[in-house]
Each structure stands twice: as C-alpha cells, then as structure tokens.
Structure 1
Amino acid sequence: MKKNVTIVMLIFSLVISSFSFYTSAEASGFADVPSRAAKEVNYLAERKIANGLSPSVFGAEQAVTRAEAAAFIGRALQLNGTKRSTSFKDVSSGNFASGYIQSAVERGVLSGYDGGYFRPEQKVTRGEMAVMISKAFGYPYGGTLTGAASALMSRGIANGMEDGTFGAGQSILRVDFAVFLARTMNPAFRVKSTSSYTQVAPSVMNKVDPRLASQVVILDPGHGGKDPGAVGFGLKEKDVVLDTGLKVNELLKKTPLQVHMTRTGDTFPSLSDRTNFAKSKGGDLFLSIHANAFNGSANGTETFYYSSSATNQYVSDSKLLAEKIQRRMLMAWNLQDRGVKQTSKLYVLKYNDMPAALAELGFIDQESDNQKLKSEYWRTAVAKAIYYGIIDYYNAKGYEVDALYNVAK
C-alpha cells in the first residue's frame, strides 16, 4: 500500500578477487562495455549491484571464477556473506567469498569437488553458469548442462553462440554474466517476452480439469510509474510487487489458466483502469499484490477481501481466495500472521465483479520484512506461494488441479 519512505535496492556486488578493491560506476562510464550490454550493465551499476575494476573499466572480457560466482549468487539471494570457516580445504575464512561459498553450498546452489575442494579460482563455464542460475532462481533443468542452458534460453535470459551451440564449455565473461543476471532479475531485458516462452505441457493439460482453460486470472501489481507506493530502506513497493507479479505470471502461464496483468512494466494504470481491464478480459479471479508500511513499527503478512455484496457480489469466494493466498504466503514467508481481513474501502476489490483479494506481502519499512522483500530468493518463494494459493482456490471450488502442484517445483 502507498506510504512514505525511500531506499536503494542492494542485492550484491560483482567482485573480482579477494585482493582487489573495485569502484562502483555507471555503465556509461565503462569504456570497455559494448553497446549490446550497456543497458544491462547500467541497470546493475545504478543499483550498486555491479562494480567495475575502476570508474572507467568494467573488466568486461575477464572470466568469472567460482569464488566470484558464489559471491554473485550469494548476494542475489541475500545469503549470509560473513567471512567464516568453510567445509573446503582450499577456502580459508579470510577468502572474500568464504561466507557466500558456504551459504550457497548449504542452500544447494553450489557444490564442491571430491576430496573436500571447492577450487575457488577455477573459471566458470557458460554451462556451469546456467546450472548455478537455474538452481538459484528455481528453474527446472533436469540436472544437466543442456537442460540448464535450455532453461535460460527458453526464458530469454541467455543467447546461444554464433555457431548455433550454447558454448557450454567456454568460460563465462563478466559482461555476459552481467547481461544474464540483469535479464534474470528484470524480465524487461529478456530477448523473449514473459508470455511467449511458457507453454502448457501436454502432460499437465491431460491431467487437469478442462474447465480451467476458460478461467481467466488477473494479476494486479500495485502502483507503478509516477507512484512508487510505499518505500523503505530505499526499496520501492512498485518494483517489489511487479517482480513478484511477473514471477506468478510465469508460473500460471504453464497451466491451462489464462492470465493477464494490469501492468507488466513501470506504468501507472489508475484504480479504475485496473478494474476496467479486469472486466474487459472477462476475469474470473483478481489478485492485487502490494507491500505495506507503517512508520517502521509494524510487520507481517495480511490479505484483504471486500466485505459487502453491494458492489462486488463475490464476497464468499473472495474470502476463500484470500484465505488460500494468506495460508500459502505464511508457509513460504514465515512472517507474522496478520490475518485475512475484511475491508469496505479498497477500490480494486470493491469495484470488481469477480472474486478478488489484495495481498500485502510484508512491511517494506520494517527491517526484517524488508530483508525478504528485497531478496530475489524470497520474492521467488512468495511468488510460488501465491501460485499455490490460486491453485488451492480452484481445488476448493471443485476443479481437478493435482497436476498443477508440480509446476512450481
């Protein structure tokens, strides 16, 4: 919901070695960044995600090491990067990436080699990079380099080489890693749209209720454009909820359900635009996604539904939807349960003619909630929870949906 505050999204910094100091800079100041990668590197630099070797040199053509990759992934997932002892003989507690290496291994994102070695200075190949990103961001890849490459290419995150291969055995360069990371984080940079690469598998279609194909789900990331929504510790609500909504959209596109979003970029549809859009698409279910704020003194997750049938007659189903979403978010987030609440004020719930709920993910101006809201890992987790909540709703309504619970794994 819209409240006052301000912040900077800090996910992680690209580091080249434990013995060097690097200075953040705008991509426009990096003389060695090719034009093909300028917008992606600029995106990371502006958010202090990517650092250069100096204010004017990014180190675009240098290969990424396993230690650096651990730092990239660890910071992206908000893992514990505190330097400490590790389970590897060749990674001391003084290594700049020791904390991220240990955390990433414990999370199952990275692994070592026989004999208790991590090989921190070994160069990372493009295939290994694809596996790391697939594991970190929850993309199914079948446990193979080929599957991981396909997972990134099918999502418009990575490109193949000029010879038609993925180049899985070639070292991944800093500039290419930055491009792939930016595309993973921001679907707007991808070479394919979110809606074009997700198709319903025949194995799913054949096992679910055929009536689902006619059901239309409307996702409504709140705020946008000139309206940042609530802001806390530099993190803007409009960015958090758009990213989360896009992730839910990606999952729903793998089901027979039809899905539309009121915004897919940094635009500002009015409240009436949102409800009119939902109606024009013939929506059967409407979910608005928000983050809360209250002077830093409140925390937790809550979900609202409209309490009167005067303007929205689907009170019972709206409550059911809210309950399913809330339950799943609590399971994923593990934040304070603020409950499912009735409201008579929220426009997008009041003036919709379909079951509608509004999910408040957490309080952006409260430190512990903010840590999860700013984390790519935790936003992915709550997006899956919202997806499961929607499927739970249809299950409760008598649809056969068992096969859809495997989609988000």
Structure 2
Amino acid sequence: MIVSLFSINTKTHAAGFVDVPSRALKEVNYLVEGQVVSGSTPTTFTPYKTITRSEAAVFIGRALQLNGKQRATSFKDVGSGSFASGYIQSAADKGIMSGYGSSFRPYKVVTRGEMAVMIAKAFGYSSSAGAEKALMNLGIASGLSNGTFGSNQTITRADFAVFLARAINPEFRLKQSAKFMKNLVSTTGNLNIRSGPSTSYRSVGKIAANTPVTGAHSIGGWTYVKTEGKVGYISTYYLRTASTGNTVPPTLTENNDSKLSSQTIILDPGHGGKDSGAVGNGLKEKEVVLKTGLQVNNLLKQTPFNVKMTRSNDTFIELKDRSAFAKNNDGDIFVSIHANAATPSATGTETYYYSAGNPHVADSKLLASKIQARMLTAWNLRDRGVKNGNFSVLRENNMPAALLELGFISNAGDASKMASDYWMNTMSKAIYNGILDYYKAKGYNVNSLYK
C-alpha cells in the first residue's frame, strides 16, 4: 500500500491559522510547511481575500524556488523595495507572468482564468485546448456548477493555495494523474524522501543507495517518485537513470531555470583578516582572492543560481567553519579560491580535489577539471594540472568541491596579472564559465548564461 503523505499530523487549524475553511486546511498546511505561503498575521490567513498579482508571483516563485531577492525590476510600478520585486522579475523573466507594457499592476486581483495560465506556465502543464482544460484534465482545477470555468471570476487566497498545492503534489488532486514512467536509481545512502520539493518539507522516509525508484514529474530540482511503499520528492541530484547509470539530466517540463535556482554555489575566498595568506610582489593573497570571489559572485548573481560566500570582506574564518558554512547552507558545489607561493621562478595554475573522503569524488574531479581548463585559457600560464589535495576545506566537505590556485603571487609575471583589473576580470569570468561547464556536463541547460 502506498503511504499517504498527508494522513498524519493533520491539524485542526491550518498552520495555526484560525480562519482557514476546512476545504483548504490540508493544502494551506502543506504550503506553509514548504514556506510557500504565509499568513496576513500569525493567526490569520485571510482566506477569502482576493489574491493580487504580486502575491501570486510570490507564491509561485517560492514553490519553484525562484530568485526572490528584492531588486530593481523592469516594471515602473514595482520598485526594488517591494516585498515581491524579486519574484515578480523572476516570473517575468521565465514567461510565467507578463506585464501591461511597462507596468506590472502588482495590486490587480487575479481571476480564475489568469490563475490557470500562471500555473500552467509555471509547471509546464499544457494542453492544446488551453490552460484551463489542462488543469481540469490533471485534476488541479474543476469547473463551476454552471458548466463554465468561471474564467472572469476573481480568486481568493484560499482557492489559489488549493490549486497551487494540487499543481505541486498529485495527492491533493481531484483525480490520480501522476504518471510514474521513469526508471531511476538512488546514488547515495540515507537519502530523504520528502513530502514536497524542498528541504523545508518533512522527510517521509529514507532509502539506501542503489534503490530503484520510479519517477514522475520534476519541480525545482526535485523529482516526484514512488519506491518501497512511499511516495514523495527526492532531490534529482541524487538520482540516475536505471538503464545507463548516468545522473538524471535535470530537464524539466516546467522550466530548466527552476533546476538552476535549486542549486547553491559556495564561493570560498581563502584566508582573510589576520591571515594574509601568501605575500609577494606587493600583493596579499587574501585581497587577491577576495576580489576574485566577489567578481565571480557578481556574475553568478545574474543567473538563477543561488550563491553564498564564506566571506565577502576582510574577515578571518577558521578552516572548519568554511566547510561547516557550506553544509549549513545546503551547498551543491564548493569552490575555494587561492593563490600559490614558492620560489620566484615557480609559475602556473593548478586545481585540487579530494579523492579519499568526499562522497562526490567523480564530480569533484569534474568540477576541478572544468574550472582548470578555463583558467588556463584565461591567463595562459603553465598547466600544473588537476591534482588530489588533502586540504581541510575539501576533505571535510560533503559536496563536489575544488580548490583553485590562480597562479604564484611570488612570481613577477603571475603577480602582474593579479594586480591588473583586466586580467582579474578575465580570470573571474573563466571561473564563472568553468562552473557553467560543470553544470552543462551534468545535463543542465546553461548555454544562455556564458560570458
């Protein structure tokens, strides 16, 4: 028997809200658990209030794990200070929502017909008969008693939450429409199956490495699967196709950018604060690598990827705290940036990965190799190779990790590049493109992101 994800811990009131109608209790609870929706106050959801376009953008954006960072938008009526600005721009960029010329009309209420279009576009649920028919065919929405869809009727926050929960998880739908057709295998042990497509959702069970599963649709870097009497979401990163042994290509029916936005890249500029690192030719390693890290960070911020830096200023961080930071932020890859030092004649670029303890040896080597190749093209220094290195930030990590040595700060020629804004920009773009090369090799569509 398939274990229901929603048969336990049902609450009298949805997530502490006292005003949610019984027909929407489970769905609102589910979305609150996943940090997709929130209340108007700690105890009220205002379920009968009509939902606005800005609220809809936030709810959908959170469900797909889009970039919600507040920022300037392309719409004259949505400023960077708006709580929804990041999600509105992300939804517009991905074609989920569009504006009215140069305006977005964030406070305009949403109709049932507009809701259908938004959800169909967001999750890739299409039909030749249109968005409304597509949602009805899947059991996500139903028509009204008069036989129409009620396209022009406004929709409330409660009803929008119900439809959104059904779009995410088939267990809420009016009919069984999930098609488990992909034969997959887990690639790591102690792997969580979660009730929804993010780590915010609870674990409904664990499976061992090399466990067969059958997959249906994917959302935001997670695949809806059935295995060992359980149904739920598993991170697509830890699945491979059963027939070929290759990691599952992260192509979505919704949008490949949803996959990218589920990936967190950790940038680790070495040294800092009281630890200057290597010193030579008037340069300090801590300053060179911080400048590099900030430039790479700025490039990645222009993409759907999430990016975190262990330090973004002249701060000293213990080695153990760097890998801990990466783990605590659910990093998917870790890139540590350094500069070498030796005799004045030593020159060249090299990259390290750790082959003994990190569970992602092959991917660590792939990441190191892709970035090394780009760095060599950027500065045309001696190729010192991709090597196994027993460094703490690699050894103590649990994700694909690479440590870069840009060049030798003790070499006048290498150092001259580190002192040049032009060459530093070139190197930063190389590291950025190397990261994209890694994701491309893993099956992600990053072609439009190259610099």
TM-score w.r.t. structure 1 length? 0.49
Higher relative CO (Cα under 8 Å, sequence separation at least 6) belongs to 1
Bigger fraction of residues in helix:
1
Q: Which structure is larger by alpha-carbon Rg, 1 or 2?
A: 2
